Structures are given as structure tokens and as C-alpha cells.
């Protein structure tokens, strides 16, 4: 049930031979993502449970879920970019139905993230689901 953008990302990952290449690609995705304006980096958009600072700003329009995000850590910023590919453009009521663990597992992220990063990723997914449920 992944978006086309996420499917393209999964295909890219298939061509990357080792985790270091994948890690570098995730960082590049984060670098390419537009930064979130400082005015939006407030407690209301901050994700609790992340070792790094992470902010997620939902933008729900015509029943479609989108979000923008940012982090002060390069790899986490890249993970936010990966999550935008997984969730952006999905009907808001379908967001909680996405099996993020399974989809991200296709990229091999979980087995290469530290426990803290994995907890942060889980917190981001929970926050995205909460934002979507609140909007339904």
C-alpha cells in the first residue's frame, strides 16, 4: 500500500549494495528536503521520544495527508524524508492502515538503526498516525 514515491525509493535501495551506500542515500534525501521554517519548530510540532529534535507539520487538504518535517540530525532528517515518501499523498483515512514497519523493513532500515534511532522512528510514525486520526 506504499505510494509511488516510496516504491521508487524501494527500487533505488535494491540497487544499493551495502548499508553504507543506503545510509548515505538516506542522508542525501534529507539534505535535499526543504527545511521547515523556524516559526514552525515549536512544541506543538515537535516529536517526543526522539533523541534528536524532530518536527512534523501536517498539511491535510481535500482529504489527502501530507506533512513536512525537519530534524537537527542529518540521518534523522533523511528518515523524515523517507517517511514523506511513504505517507505524503495518501488519503488521510488510509494513513493509519499503512504498515510502516513492513514497508520500512523493505529498505532494511530497522536492522541498521541504533535502538535510539529505532525508537525515534517509531515515535515519528505514531505521531503521523495520530495527526491523521485527528484529521479524520
Q: Which residues are catalytic?
A: 50
The cell for 105 is 523493513
**Is 53 strand, coil or helix?**
coil
Contacts of 41 (CB under 8 A, 6+ apart): 53, 55, 70
Q: How far apart are CA 45 and CA 104, in angstroms?
A: 23
Strand 67-71 and strand 64-65: the pairing is unpaired
Amino acid at each position: 500500500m506504499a505510494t509511488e514515491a516510496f516504491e521508487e525509493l524501494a527500487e533505488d535501495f535494491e540497487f544499493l549494495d551495502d548499508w553504507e551506500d543506503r545510509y548515505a542515500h538516506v542522508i542525501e534525501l534529507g539534505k535535499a528536503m526543504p527545511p521547515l521554517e523556524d516559526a514552525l519548530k515549536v512544541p506543538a510540532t515537535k516529536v517526543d521520544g526522539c533523541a534528536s529534535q524532530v518536527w512534523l507539520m501536517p498539511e491535510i487538504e481535500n482529504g489527502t495527508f501530507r506533512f513536512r518535517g525537519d530534524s537537527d540530525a542529518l540521518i534523522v532528517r533523511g528518515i523524515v524524508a523517507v517517511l514523506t515518501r511513504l505517507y505524503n499523498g495518501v488519503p488521510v483515512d488510509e494513513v493509519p492502515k499503512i504498515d510502516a514497519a513492513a514497508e520500512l523493513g523493505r529498505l532494511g532500515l530497522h536492522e541498521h538503526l541504533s535502538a535510539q534511532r529505532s525508537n525515534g522512528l517509531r515515535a515519528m510514525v505514531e505521531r503521523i498516525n495520530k495527526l491523521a486520526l485527528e484529521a479524520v
